[in-house]
Structure 1
C-alpha cells in the first residue's frame, strides 16, 4: 500500500466513525442542523479520500498504461469519473 492509499484508508476510517456518530445522533433525536453538518463533514472527508485514490491512479496506473501504449482507455476512465464528480455537485 502506497502513501496515498494509506492516507485514503485513514480518511475512510474517519468517515466511517463519523457516519456511525451520525446514526447515533439520529437514534438520539438530535437537532437536524447538527446532523446535517455532520453529514457534510463526512462527505468532505470522503471527497478527500477519493482525490487521494485518483491521484494514486494517475501517478501509477495511468502513467504505467501510457508507458505500455494503453493510456487512451485510462484517460476515458478518468473522464468518466470527472463527469460523475461534476454531476454530484
Structure 2
C-alpha cells in the first residue's frame, strides 16, 4: 500500500470515528447545530479521501491504460468523467 492510499485509509478511519461520535451526539440529544457541524466535518474527510483515491487512480490506473492502448485509456477516462459528474451534482 502506497502513502496516498494509507492517507485515504486514515481519513476514512477518522471519518468513521466522527460518525460514531455523531451517532452518540444524537442519542444524547445534543444541540442540532453542533451535530450538523460534525456531519459537515465527516463529509469533508470523506471528500478528501475520495480525492486521494481518484488521484492515485489517475496517476496509476488511467496512465497505464492510456499507455496500453486507445480503448483501455478511453474506458478509464470515461470512468473518471462519470465519477466527476456524480461528484459535482
Give the TM-score taking structure 1 as reference length. Answer: 0.96
Return structure 1 stretches of 4+ with deviation > 6 angstroms. none
Tell me, which stretches of 5 or more residues in structure 1 are unaligned? none
Corresponding residue for residue 38 of structure 2: 38
**Cross-structure match for 1:52:** 52
The alignment's TM-score, normalised by the length of structure 2, stands at: 0.96
Secondary structure class of the residue paired with 2:78 = helix
Instruction: Specify every segment of 5 or more residues in structure 2 that has no aligned partner in the other structure, as ranges.
Output: none
Question: RMSD between aligned alpha carbons?
Answer: 0.4
Cα deviation 1:62-86 (Å, max 9, x = unaligned): 0110110110000100000000001
How many aligned positions are there? 87
Alignment pair present for 1:19 and 2:3:
no
By how many angstroms is 1:4 displaced? 1.1
